[in-house]
Chain A
């Protein structure tokens, strides 16, 4: 009761914005993990809610429409060498994205071994796979738009098909595109030796987290939108 040490420390504590940060953090750390990684995970958590809400919205409109839903297996089929292959482009896109996740995981490994040339090359490969994915998505969009699919209707069935399709795959494609830019920036800096100077290669793992998340979201879109 008698101890009023706060007078002294309150004077020492910083004011203003700096004080706000100091008071809230109080030099305490809940997670014994580098802060950059924690922040990326928290961002990904918020992104999980965005995609989760999109997919829930899609479930709602698909379950409540009285018009039959277009069969994705037929809508996304391609005619290759005279045979109709169901969902073939989507399957290839899935494999491309998984390949990119593999090269990214290896890049993180090589970055921590301080072999920056190998790590940067693998990151460029990852970004190239990302570009491939977005290009195939652009092709798919073009094909569907030519077939008359619009956000407000389509000739195959329920009008909500178009709106959810463009919304969900568009938002995911945006994430892939942003990831390609992010990876290109980080790998260029890696190659130039910026992280070698600091002796800290964590940024490669953080960029990797983002990239794997993009792949993770695709797993759910593939299951719920294309296969269901």
Chain B
């Protein structure tokens, strides 16, 4: 697992420049596509899913390649990337809270 070659790579994240250039170009294309979602007035379910998918793809490439997470050790990847999932719980709670507030406002303050 930790031969001299991998050990070296753990310390120095060095990768071919061509890889960075490709990801860079890809991020440009993905950003252009997400701008296109707004420019071409795509609406409804298609809009939300395109926004989310393009966002996650961009975020994934930035974290994996630019921030070198793809080459880090699994223990470290888990320690950093799993905790933010707790935010999904907060999002779930607040979404239900928001609909409760909205209903109360519609019922009593309109």
Q: Determine whether the beta carbon of A59 is less than 8 Å from that of B72.
A: no
- Chain A contact residues: helix, strand, loop or mixed: helix
Q: Does A30 contact B (CB under 8 A)?
A: yes
Chain B count of residues within 8 A CB distance of the other chain: 56
> Given known contacts A31-B76, A33-B72, is B95 in contact with A105 (CB within 8 Å)?
no
Contact of B91 among A56, A105, A215, A220 (CB under 8 A): A56
8 Å CB contacts to A: which residues of B64-109? 65-68, 72-73, 75-76, 79-80, 83-84, 87, 90-91, 94-95, 97-99, 101-102, 105-106, 109
Q: Pick from B31, B75, B90: contact of A94, CB below 8 A.
A: B31
Does B90 contact A56, Cβ atoms closer than 8 Å? yes
Is B14 within 8 A of A31, CB to CB? Answer: no
| B65 shortest CB reach to chain A, Å | 8
B62 engages A219 (CB within 8 Å) = yes
Task: Check B67–A227 contact: CB distance below 8 A.
Answer: no
Give per-residue flags for B32-54: 1 if the beta carbon is below 8 A from chain A beta carbons, else 0. 00110111000000011001101
Q: Which residues of A lie under 8 Å from residue B91 when comparing CB positions? A: 56, 59
Q: Does A64 contact B (CB under 8 A)?
A: yes
Can you list 19 A-B contacts with CB-CB less than 8 angstroms, sorted by A residue number? A31-B73, A31-B76, A32-B2, A32-B73, A57-B94, A59-B94, A61-B98, A65-B102, A86-B38, A87-B38, A98-B31, A101-B27, A106-B20, A109-B15, A212-B63, A216-B63, A216-B67, A223-B34, A223-B54
Closest 9 CB pairs of A and B: A63-B98, A64-B101, A102-B24, A223-B55, A52-B87, A64-B98, A60-B94, A91-B35, A105-B20
* Chain B residues within CB distance 8 Å of chain A: 2, 10-15, 17, 20-21, 23-24, 27-28, 31, 34-35, 37-39, 47-48, 51-52, 54-55, 58-59, 62-63, 65-68, 72-73, 75-76, 79-80, 83-84, 87, 90-91, 94-95, 97-99, 101-102, 105-106, 109-110
Binding site for B on A (CB under 8 A): 30-34, 38, 41-42, 44-45, 48-49, 52-53, 56-57, 59-61, 63-66, 73, 86-87, 91, 94-95, 98, 101-102, 104-106, 108-109, 112-113, 202, 205, 208-209, 212-213, 215-216, 219-220, 222-223, 226-228
